[in-house]
Amino acid sequence: MINPNLQPATPGIKAVFVGTSSPRECGLAVFSQDMMSQLALLGDFAPPSIIAVEDERAYAYRSEVIGKIAQNRLDDYLRAADDLNRSDADVVVIQHEFGIYGGDNGSHILDFAAALHVPFIVIFHTVLAAPSSEQRRIMQELAALSFKVVTMARNKIADLTDVYDISPTKIEMHHHGVPTVQTESREQLKVRYGHEGRQILSTFGFLSPGKGIEYVIEAMSRVVLTHPEALYIIWGRTHPSIKRREGEVYRESLQQRVAELGLGTNVLFVDKHLSQEEVVQSLVMSDIYLTPYLGQDQAVSGTLAFGIGYGRVVISTPYRYAQEMLADGRGLLAEFRDSVSLEKHILSVFDQPELKADMERRTLQLGSTMHWNHIAGEYAALLRTCSAKGSAV
C-alpha cells in the first residue's frame, strides 16, 4: 500500500517511479535514483517518489519510497495501481526490465499498467531483437497503454517499430544518464590509489559470466610482455542473484586463471559495490575502459555509458549498444571471445599516444551531452507533456 504521508505535500509536478530502488544493488535502482535527484532540482517538480519492486529480501529504504510491491504478488501490483489512481500523482515512470517483475516474463507489470489511470511513460532498458511471443506481447501492450516509450539506443528504434509493431510516434530516444562528480586528474588518482606509473585498464559493474573478463585476462598475459606496467582492475561485487545461486564460482575461476598466468601484479580484483564517486574515480584513473561482453544483442550498458560520459578510450566487443556508441572513432571494437583481438587493440592504444588522445577527445564530445543535468532536462520535458495530457482528460 502507498503511504502518502511519507512525502510532504509540495507544489509541482508529482512524478512517481516504479521499479527497483536503492539500496538494492541494481542498475535500474541507480538509474531511478539519479533521475529523481535531478528532477527534484527543477522548480516545477515536487520531489519524485518511487514504488519499490522487491525480491525476497527486505531493504532499508529512504523516505522517497512511498510503497512496495512484492515481485511475485499480483495483488500488490493491482493495489499499487489503485492507490496511485486515488493519489495526487501527475505522472508515472515505469522502469522496464523483464527480470524484476513477477509473472510469465514479467507480465504482472502489464496488469499494473492496465489498471493505472494516471498517465505514464515506460523506459525500456532491454529491447530484444528476437523476443518470445509473450515478451513481444507484453512490450507491445505496455507501449499501447503508455503515453510514450523510451529507448536509450537509436538503433533500437527500428526493433521497437519492426519487431514490436510500436508506432514511431510513441517512441523517444534519450541517452543513458551519467552522474557529474568532481574528481582529481588521472595522474593524481593513480598516486592516491597507489598505481603511479601504471597504465590502467578497467572494468566495473556486477561480476557475472557473460561479462567476458576471462578474455581480457588472457590478453593481459601477452600485453605485459611489452608493457609490464599494465594493470587491469576489475571493480565490483559478484551479481547478487548469481552469488545466491552459484556463490563465487566465476570470480574464483578468474582468480585461478590470473595465478596460472603469473599475472598477480597485473590484474587486481576490487570486491566491493562502488559508490558513484568511486565509479567515476575508477574511470578517470583509467587509460582504457573495457566492456568485453559476450551477448551480441545488449541494448544498453550503463557502464559503457559512464565510460563515454567521462571521455575514456573504450575497447569493447561489438554488441549493438557498443557499435552505436563507439562509432566515429570513439573507441575500438574487438571480436567476441577473442583475446588476440583485445590484445591488438590494447597495444594500439598503449603504443599510439596520438590515437589515444584523439579517441578521448571524440568520446568526450558525445559524453559531455550525456550527464544527468542534461538528460534529466529531456525527461522533464517529456513528463511535463505527459502530465498535461493527464490533467486535460
Instruction: Output the domain CATH number for residue 322.
Output: 3.40.50.2000
The predicted structure's pLDDT at residue 390:
61
Cell representation of residue 200: 590502467
Same domain for 214 and 351, yes or no, is yes
- Asked if residues 28 and 97 have their Cβ atoms less than 8 Å apart, the reply is yes
pLDDT at residue 105 is higher than 90 = yes
The predicted structure's pLDDT at residue 8:
52
Residue 198, SS3 per DSSP: coil
Which residue, chain included where needed, has cell 568520446?
Answer: 363
Q: Is the pTM above the cut of 0.85?
A: yes
The predicted structure's pLDDT at residue 79:
97
pLDDT at residue 392 is higher than 60 = no
The predicted structure's pLDDT at residue 57:
85
Percent residues over pLDDT 70 in the chain: 97
The predicted structure's pLDDT at residue 298:
79
Average pLDDT value for the chain = 94
DSSP code per residue over 342-388 = HHHHHHHHHH-HHHHHHHHHHHHHHHTT-BHHHHHHHHHHHHHHHHH
- Average pLDDT of the segment spanning 302-312: 96
Same domain for 103 and 162, yes or no, is yes
The predicted structure's pLDDT at residue 1:
53
What's the structural domain count of the chain?
A: 2
Cell representation of residue 25: 544493488
CA geometry: angle 377, 142, 19, nearest 5 deg? 60
- Average pLDDT of the segment spanning 121-148: 96
Same domain for 284 and 226, yes or no, is yes
DSSP code per residue over 236-269 = SPBPHHHHHHHTTHHHHHHHHHHHHTT-TTTEEE
Helical pair 302-309 and 353-367, crossing angle rounded to 10 deg: 110
Same domain for 350 and 219, yes or no, is yes
- Asked if residues 220 and 266 have their Cβ atoms less than 8 Å apart, the reply is yes
Q: Given pLDDT bands bounded at 50, 70 and 90, which one contains residue 240?
A: confident
Same domain for 141 and 230, yes or no, is no
Domain span at 240: 186-367
The predicted structure's pLDDT at residue 317:
98
Same domain for 268 and 378, yes or no, is no
The predicted structure's pLDDT at residue 229:
98
Same domain for 122 and 198, yes or no, is no
Same domain for 44 and 102, yes or no, is yes
pLDDT at residue 343 is higher than 50 = yes
Same domain for 202 and 282, yes or no, is yes
The predicted structure's pLDDT at residue 5:
44
Same domain for 255 and 282, yes or no, is yes
Cell representation of residue 366: 558525445
pLDDT in tens, 171-216: 999 999 999 999 999 999 999 999 999 999 999 999 999 999 999 9
**CA–CA dist 84, 71 (Å, integer):** 18
Beta bridge partners of 69: 53
Same domain for 51 and 166, yes or no, is yes
Same domain for 263 and 204, yes or no, is yes
- Asked if residues 125 and 151 have their Cβ atoms less than 8 Å apart, the reply is no
